[in-house]
Each structure stands twice: as structure tokens, then as C-alpha cells.
Amino acid sequence: MKKLSEFVSLLSPKALLHFEDTAIQGIACRPEELQEKSLYCVIDEFLQYGHWVQGRDLPNSLTSEKIAALLLEAPVSHIALPQLIVPDARKATALAAKYFFDSPDKNMKLVGVTGTNGKTTTAHLINRLLNACGMRAAALGTLGLYEGYEKRAEAVYTTALSPMLFETLHELLHSRVAALAMEISSHALKLDRTFGLDIDVAVFTNLTRDHLDFHETMADYRASKLKLFTELKSEAAAVINTDDPAGKEFMPLCPCRVISYGCGHEAELRAENISCSPVGTGFRISYQGKMLEMKTSLIGNFNVYNVLAAVSACLALGADADALQAAAHVLSGVAGRVEPVPLPGNRAGIVDYAHTPDSLEKVLQMLRASGSKRIITVFGCGGDRDRGKRPLMGEVAARLSDICVVTSDNPRRENPDAIIQDILAGMPKQGITVEPNRREAIRKAFLMSREGDVILLAGKGHEPCQIVGDAYFPFDDREELRKLSERLCGYDHEKT
């Protein structure tokens, strides 16, 4: 249990109202997370797609007796509770959460992974490699919380709000987890959810267009990613993709050791002799005069970069290079990331989270190089998100697919037909199938397919629901494809 005076000493507020040195037994910045005698942190938060929740409006509507004190940027005159008035409530919330949960980040190794694409896969590969090398590790991000291969909890956000984040670290520490690989989103960095977090290794994957509904400009998006690296401690390590233009720009700005990875000659960890096939990828890593042979079941050249990033991060944490080579067999696919769904008739189903022009292009290029007869792509774009990427994704899909079925993908509060029209602006006027109902779109793609074809369901990946308006309807691309093959072809997935 902490006392309010401890937070006053920690945060040095510019003003203090109605002070009473009350006990603080919880910390929260959302009403539903309040516990008995909580320090309630009043911040505006980007909790819903395209919609901000105004923190200043919340205390006015709260009658909960769970609040022991408020932390906020301006006083609320009609509430006779202790109020800590701070210049930056976001940063103060992060520092207060860290203190309340006894700075768990100081007692475990933290790897923060950021970038447009590859965060989820890279974080999970780090988790698997470290566990295979004898270090008890976990992964946290879009897919939830995993200890080794075991899922412990679902995720609300890619990177949790500060109170939940530090509570999770506290629980992991008590579970004797020694290292955590976590995804750190651009939203979290811009909104200071990870302010004060003691990162040991920061990983940069790549930077391409995404989230401009939130950031508005690529410059702001880039600056948010860069924050993770410029705020590292001197004894940390930055693991950076030197084949990415932004990565090259980030490298001299890091105040710590930089480990570069890529396929170019300037990379410290360099991939050579890459061999990709429909069943896996093999390559050799050149590192400090050593050659590490990596044979994995991961598919696609882009996964070479994910493996390089993961191996680099593990080396930065002190893992042995030979042990990492021996552990390469654990580098298997991640849910919803180029995830195969067996289909009858020598056809293949692939479900992937690709929801940016760059990620869609990479997965389609990989499928094109795999020798498939035809690629049938089913995709849409999310509502209340960056509208500018929609025609770009349409152009990529039309150029690299043999057949395109444009459909809905979490339309949220937007009209699905309007989203589709934005996509079609980047596509040929003829030859595109439009079906707003995603279930029907997948059925049409399946019926169009024949021997040797690949059906790519892009955009949703692991997601178990379709978001329409504010409602969540159960919907899983993988299950839809399985049910179709069972219903229409009598295919038994239990035997495959």
C-alpha cells in the first residue's frame, strides 16, 4: 500500500488541493478499472477508433467512492477530493503507475518492438528463442500476453495504458518471467503510455504508411516511432533494420549501442543465401565472423527480417549465438500471420493480417514467388482509419492478384459501400468482384478457386470478430474458410 504523500514527492505537482495523506490502493485512468481507494488519473485518451474520450468530462459524471485522489492538469472545483495538479498528466500517470507497482521493469529484461509491420511476429519469435535458450520469457502485444507458447490473457490494445501495462509487468515478475518482448505502437509512444519504461533493447522493423487517421502526417508517425530510440538509456541496445530508409536515419540518433540487421553489406547481422519455399525459409546469418544456419517453417522473405530482428535482440540480451542457431526450429508461424488453412483439391488458403499497402504487397509477392497458379485475394479496409491508404491497397491487390474480391473489414462507424468505393479508386474499372458481405465474399472466392490456386484472406488475421458500428460480431476468416471447405466439399480438417 502506498500513501498519497509518496506520489506528491514523486511527481512534485505544481498545485495540491484538499490534501489528505490518504492510502492509495489502486491506480487507474479508466472508470471501469477503479479499485478501492484508487488514484484516478484524468487524461484524454484515444480509446476508440477515431474517437477521443475526454478525461476532463469523467470526474463530473463519477459518483464512485472508490476514488481516493485525482491526478490531473487543471483543478475540478466542485470535487472535494485530494487533487494533484501536474503539467503533463500522461507522463505523470506513467510514472505514478510505475511507482505504484514497484518498478517491475527494473527487475526484468524488456525488449520493445516498434515499426509498421512485423511487430507481432518479431516479439513472439524473441519470446520463443529466449525460452529455447533457457531464459523464462513472455510476449505482449496484439495477440495478448503469452508466457512461452501459452496464452495468459487477451489484449485490449497493442500497447496497454500505463496502469495496466505496469500491473502486467508486476504480475510477470511474480511469475518469475525474466524477459518480456512487447510491441510498442506509435499511439502508445505519442501518448506517452510507455514514458519512463526501462527498455533494455529497442527493435525497429520498418516504416511505411499506416495510422494517418491518428497521426495525420508521416512526419508525426515517424517522430512517434523515433521516441522509443532517442529516449533509451546509454547501456541499452537499439536493433535497427538498416535496409529501411527510416532505420538508417534513426541509427545516429540513438544514445546507445546500435546493432544493425538486414540483407545489405553494411548490416552487422546480415542474411545470406536465402532460400524460400512454400513450406519454409532457410538462410545464413553472418555475424562477427560467425555463420549461423537458420532453417525455419516461416514463409516469405519478409520473415527473414523478422528472424534477423529477433536474433539480434536476443544477442543484445546476451544469448549465445550457437544456442540461437540450435533453437531455430522453434521459429514457426504466428496466429493470423501468413497462417495456412488446408483446403481440398490441391488448393491453399492463407490468412494474413496485412492491412497496409506495404504488408499486402509483401505477402502477395511472396505468394507470387511460391509458384501458385492463381492468387485470389479477398480484402477490405477498416473504417474510421486512414482513408488515404485505401486506393493504394486496391492498386497493390489488383496488380499482384489474379482475382480480387473487395469486401468489408471492420467498417465500424463508416458506410461499408463508401469504404469500398475508396478502395476501387485505385483499381481497374473492370474485372473486380465487389461483395460487401465478408462471409459471402469468402464463399465467392472459394467457388472461383480451382486446383493449384491460393486464396488469400487479408486484413483481419487473428481477429475473432467483425466490427460494425459499435457492435462486435463473431467472425474469424480462418473458421469461415474451414467451414466452407467442410460444407461444400466434405473436407475433414481434423484429419489434416
Q: Dump pLDDT digits (tens) for 436-475.
A: 999 999 999 999 999 999 999 999 999 999 999 989 999 9
- Opening angle at CA 315, ends 310 and 321, nearest 5: 100
HSE (side-chain half, CA atoms, 13 Å) at 291: 6
270 — pLDDT class (breaks 50, 70, 90):
very high
For the chain, domain boundaries: 2-96, 104-330, 339-495
10 — pLDDT class (breaks 50, 70, 90):
very high
What distance in Å separates the CA atoms of residue 166 and residue 179, rounded to the nearest whole number? 14
Q: Is 70 exceeded by the pLDDT of residue 3?
A: yes
H helical segments located in 208-336? 212-215, 218-230, 245-250, 301-316, 321-326
Mean pLDDT, the chain, whole residue set: 91
What distance in Å separates the CA atoms of residue 239 and residue 218, rounded to the nearest whole number? 22
Q: Is 70 exceeded by the pLDDT of residue 365?
A: yes
The reported pLDDT for the residue numbered 435 is: 98
| Average pLDDT value for residue range 373-398 | 94
The three grid cell numbers given for residue 392, joined into one nine-digit string: 493504394
CA proximity to 56, closest of 35, 85, 36, 34: 85
Q: Is 60 exceeded by the pLDDT of residue 398?
A: yes
The reported pLDDT for the residue numbered 60 is: 57
The reported pLDDT for the residue numbered 65 is: 76
The reported pLDDT for the residue numbered 335 is: 86
The reported pLDDT for the residue numbered 360 is: 96
| Average pLDDT value for residue range 219-229 | 94
Angle at which helices 162-174 and 89-100 cross, to 10° = 20
**Topology (CATH) of 104-330:** UDP-N-acetylmuramoyl-L-alanine:D-glutamate ligase (3.40.1190)
pTM of structure: 0.86
53 — pLDDT class (breaks 50, 70, 90):
low
Q: Is 90 exceeded by the pLDDT of residue 279?
A: no
Helix (H, G, I), strand (E, B) or coil at 11: helix
What H or E segment, with its residue span, contains residue 357? helix 357-369
CATH class of 339-495: alpha beta
Q: Are strands 348-352 and 454-458 parallel, antiparallel or unpaired?
A: parallel
302-340 pLDDT, tens digit per residue, is 899 999 999 999 999 999 999 999 998 888 888 898 888
Q: Is 90 exceeded by the pLDDT of residue 26?
A: yes
371 — pLDDT class (breaks 50, 70, 90):
confident
The reported pLDDT for the residue numbered 30 is: 83
| Average pLDDT value for residue range 268-297 | 90
Q: Is 80 exceeded by the pLDDT of residue 214?
A: no
C-beta of residue 203 within 8 angstroms of C-beta of residue 122? yes
The reported pLDDT for the residue numbered 49 is: 46
377 — pLDDT class (breaks 50, 70, 90):
very high
What distance in Å separates the CA atoms of residue 455 and residue 350, rounded to the nearest whole number? 6
| Average pLDDT value for residue range 31-40 | 88
Name the percent of the chain lying above pLDDT 70. 93
Full DSSP string of 104-146? GGGGSEEEEEESSSSHHHHHHHHHHHHHHTT--EEEEETTEEE
CATH fourth-level superfamily of 2-96: MurE/MurF, N-terminal domain (3.40.1390.10)
C-beta of residue 41 within 8 angstroms of C-beta of residue 93? yes
The reported pLDDT for the residue numbered 334 is: 86
82-112 pLDDT, tens digit per residue, is 999 999 999 999 999 999 999 999 999 999 9
The reported pLDDT for the residue numbered 66 is: 86
Q: Is 60 exceeded by the pLDDT of residue 63?
A: no
Q: Is 50 exceeded by the pLDDT of residue 362?
A: yes
The reported pLDDT for the residue numbered 342 is: 85
Q: 412: which DSSP letter? A: B
C-beta of residue 364 within 8 angstroms of C-beta of residue 373? no
CA distances from 273 to 60, 239, 261, 310, 428 (A): 63, 22, 15, 19, 38
